[in-house]
Chain A
Amino acid sequence: GDSVTQMEGPVTLSEEAFLTINCTYTATGYPSLFWYVQYPGEGLQLLLKATKADDKGSNKGFEATYRKETTSFHLEKGSVQVSDSAVYFCALSRRSSTLGRLYFGRGTQLTVWP
């Protein structure tokens, strides 16, 4: 079935370090791919998305490229800030879905120290 596997956390970085959080997926057909972020005390919110192969989603300095050949959607940021400390969730939605059901990974806790 459809599933998402993302890098185990927690991840701890110093400010201005480079971030990669790995995400791979298994899906029938070509899904849409998402990264959601949950800041402390808040709900999950969409960070970025890509809806077809080779699309790059980007927002707030974060990027992820939809790689069909490696079934991956790794999240990257060149220089993290303390305010990026949060839990990051990779997710997919089936292209055939009319209802927007999401399949999530476990989430990766990121802590950035000053």
Chain B
Amino acid sequence: EPEVTQTPSHQVTQMGQEVILRCVPISNHLYFYWYRQILGQKVEFLVSFYNNEISEKSEIFDDQFSVERPDGSNFTLKIRSTKLEDSAMYFCASNLEGGADAEAFFGQGTRLTVV
């Protein structure tokens, strides 16, 4: 069964360093998302990506964040200069149809720890 794959499962980085979180969405999907969950808090939307451009982003997704789909397969989230408060579980998701009723398929998450 096709699945969304995220790597690494756990990343530890020093404050101020750049990190890239990687995701391989399901191959025929067209809509791509990043969410994050700070420990004990809600899962929060970061960004959606469709047709090779950002469709929507939340207020969390500031200039320190960027996304890319460099090769039609991978979907990456880059944090340019990490802060302690970026420590969270980051989830990648994709779906085929978009829209309010569409089922999103999620990866298992990358736990980012900024020290």
Instruction: Give chain A's interface residues, CB within 8 Å of chain B.
Output: 4, 31-32, 36, 38, 41-46, 49, 51, 89, 91, 93-107
17 contacts between A and B (CB under 8 A): A32-B101, A41-B108, A42-B108, A43-B106, A93-B102, A97-B99, A98-B99, A99-B50, A99-B55, A100-B95, A100-B99, A100-B104, A102-B35, A102-B104, A104-B35, A104-B43, A105-B43
A89: chain B residues at CB < 8 Å are: 43
Docked complex Cα distance between A22 and B59 (Å): 28
The 7 A-B pairs of least Cβ separation, nearest first, read A104-B43, A43-B106, A44-B106, A93-B100, A43-B108, A32-B100, A46-B103
Judged by a CB distance under 8 angstroms, whether B3 is at the interface is: yes
B61 within 8 A of A: no
Interface residues of B in 2-18 (CB under 8 A from A): 3-4, 6
Q: Which residue of B lies closest to A95 (CB)?
A: B100
Complex partner residue of A99 from B4, B35, B48, B101, CB under 8 angstroms: B48
CB <8 Å contact, B48 and A43: no
- Judged by a CB distance under 8 angstroms, whether B70 is at the interface is no
Do residues A100 and B102 form an inter-chain contact, with CB atoms below 8 A?
yes
